[in-house]
């Protein structure tokens, strides 16, 4: 199916990807069409094995090779020069390419069997919640996908960390499933591009993304909802609020950010289906993958905050 230019959704350790042959411009175009994704938003190319990187792109900077060697297969996406074999549509015309080796045996077996690099964004419509189960893909994309491989719930539940390590100091372009702390332990200081941490950016300028259909608001802690009779949902990090919410999801009763990340999008999908008028979301502790959880919550909330 991939070799014939089809679209195959498949599980990775992070979220489900919507895959197409990365060497085939027409197949890549179908990804943008199926997701209603703007053509300026480049795709990630997935490889079966770390050794395939140099086979595809030739020699890479030492820091890039070191990160690949340390964290692949795994939830780290690296920026490299785009090889001529990869059509510009995959990288939205950039002369760089995002690439990773997923840590999910079935995904790597799929890519290996296809015998081509696989371009795959998250398998959701543009701007909406990322899929962490095959059902989410079917609900969101339906007939636009040729095949959905069902591998159950994904392990990490949040997208890969994107790092540009071509310069003197690595730059984190997107917070994700590989914790900042683990990255720093391996390579020393990194900088985080403003906007990917969510903090240094003025309200309203955040990219609206990763959003449920229901308006979402980040609240500072567990607080009762206003008693105006409207049905609201609550996304709790550790502990359910005492009462007043029509639907509640608790991400990690044990207070574990990794477990919370794995459940985040599934919980938001359920709250979105619970018939509530608003979702209140409590942030995670700002540590490890908790940073990526908070990044996604801020972006989801940005969709719904009225511009002032």
Centre a 10 Å sphere on the Cβ of residue 124 and count the other Cβ atoms it contains.
Answer: 23
Centre a 10 Å sphere on the Cβ of residue 95 and count the other Cβ atoms it contains.
Answer: 8
Task: State the Cα–Cα distance between residues 279 and 302, nearest whole angstrom.
Answer: 13
Candidates 11-19, 140-148, 196-204, 234-242; binding stretch for ligand TXA (CB under 6 A) = 11-19
User: According to CB under 6 A, which one of 159, 266, 272, 295 is a site residue for ligand TXA?
Assistant: 159
Phi and psi torsions of 271, nearest 5°: -65, -35
Residue pointed to by tokens 């994704």: 37
120 forms part of the interface with ligand TXA (CB under 6 A) = yes
Task: State the Cα–Cα distance between residues 248 and 266, nearest whole angstrom.
Answer: 13
The radius of gyration of the chain's CA atoms, rounded to the nearest angstrom, is 19
**Minimal distance in Å, beta carbon 136 to ligand TXA?**
13
Between residues 122 and 132, which has the closer beta carbon with respect to Mg ion?
Answer: 122
Phi and psi torsions of 133, nearest 5°: -140, 155
Answer for the pair 177, 275: CB distance below 8 angstroms, yes or no: no
Phi and psi torsions of 174, nearest 5°: -150, 125
Pairing of strands 278-281, 232-236: parallel
**Minimal distance in Å, beta carbon 236 to Mg ion?**
25
Pairing of strands 76-81, 96-100: antiparallel
Between residues 178 and 218, which has the closer beta carbon with respect to ligand TXA?
Answer: 178
Candidates 41-49, 114-122, 243-251, 271-279; binding stretch for Mg ion (CB under 5 A) = 114-122
Site for ligand TXA in 161-180 (CB under 6 A): 162, 173
96 forms part of the interface with ligand TXA (CB under 6 A) = yes
User: According to CB under 6 A, which one of 28, 89, 122, 206 is a site residue for ligand TXA?
Assistant: 122
DSSP string across 216-270: EEE-SS--PPPSSS--EEEEESSS--SS--SEEEES-TT--HHHHHHHHHHHHHH
Candidates 53-61, 118-126, 173-181, 262-270; binding stretch for Mg ion (CB under 5 A) = 118-126
Between residues 122 and 160, which has the closer beta carbon with respect to Mg ion?
Answer: 122
Between residues 98 and 165, which has the closer beta carbon with respect to ligand TXA?
Answer: 98
122 forms part of the interface with Mg ion (CB under 5 A) = yes
Between residues 236 and 297, which has the closer beta carbon with respect to Mg ion?
Answer: 297
Number of H helices, E strands in the chain: 8, 14
Site for ligand TXA in 17-76 (CB under 6 A): 17, 41-44, 75
Q: Which residues contribute to the site for Mg ion (CB under 5 A)?
A: 122
Q: Which residues contribute to the site for ligand TXA (CB under 6 A)?
A: 12, 14-15, 17, 41-44, 75, 77, 79, 91, 94, 96-98, 102, 120-122, 159-160, 162, 173
């Amino acid at each position: 199916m991939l070799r014939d230019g089809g679209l195959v959704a498949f599980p990775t350790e992070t979220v489900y990807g919507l895959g197409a042959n990365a060497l085939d411009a027409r197949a890549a175009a179908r990804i943008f069409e199926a997701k209603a994704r703007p053509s300026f938003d480049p795709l990630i190319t997935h490889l079966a094995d770390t050794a395939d990187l140099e086979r595809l792109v030739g020699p890479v900077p030492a820091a890039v090779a070191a990160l690949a060697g340390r964290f692949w297969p795994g939830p780290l996406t690296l920026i490299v020069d785009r090889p001529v074999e990869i059509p510009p549509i995959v990288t939205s015309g950039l002369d760089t390419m995002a690439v990773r080796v997923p840590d999910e045996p079935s995904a790597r077996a799929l890519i290996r069997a296809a015998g081509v690099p696989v371009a795959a964004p998250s398998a959701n419509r543009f701007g909406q919640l990322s899929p962490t189960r095959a059902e989410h893909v079917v609900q969101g994309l339906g007939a636009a996908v040729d095949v959905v491989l069902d591998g159950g719930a994904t392990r990490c539940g949040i997208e890969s960390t994107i790092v540009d390590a071509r310069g003197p100091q690595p730059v984190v372009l997107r917070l994700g499933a590989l914790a900042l702390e683990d990255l720093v332990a391996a390579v020393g200081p990194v900088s985080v591009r403003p906007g990917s941490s969510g903090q240094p950016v003025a309200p309203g300028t955040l990219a609206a993304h990763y959003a449920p259909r229901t308006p979402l608001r980040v609240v500072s802690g567990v607080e009762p909802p206003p008693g105006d009779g409207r049905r609201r949902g609550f996304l709790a990090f550790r502990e359910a609020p005492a009462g007043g919410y029509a639907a509640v999801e608790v991400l990690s009763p044990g207070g574990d950010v990794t477990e919370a990340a794995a459940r985040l999008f599934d919980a938001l999908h359920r709250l979105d289906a619970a018939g509530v008028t608003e979702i209140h979301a409590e942030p995670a502790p700002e540590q490890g993958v908790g940073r990526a959880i908070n990044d996604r919550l801020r972006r989801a909330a940005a969709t719904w905050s009225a511009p002032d």
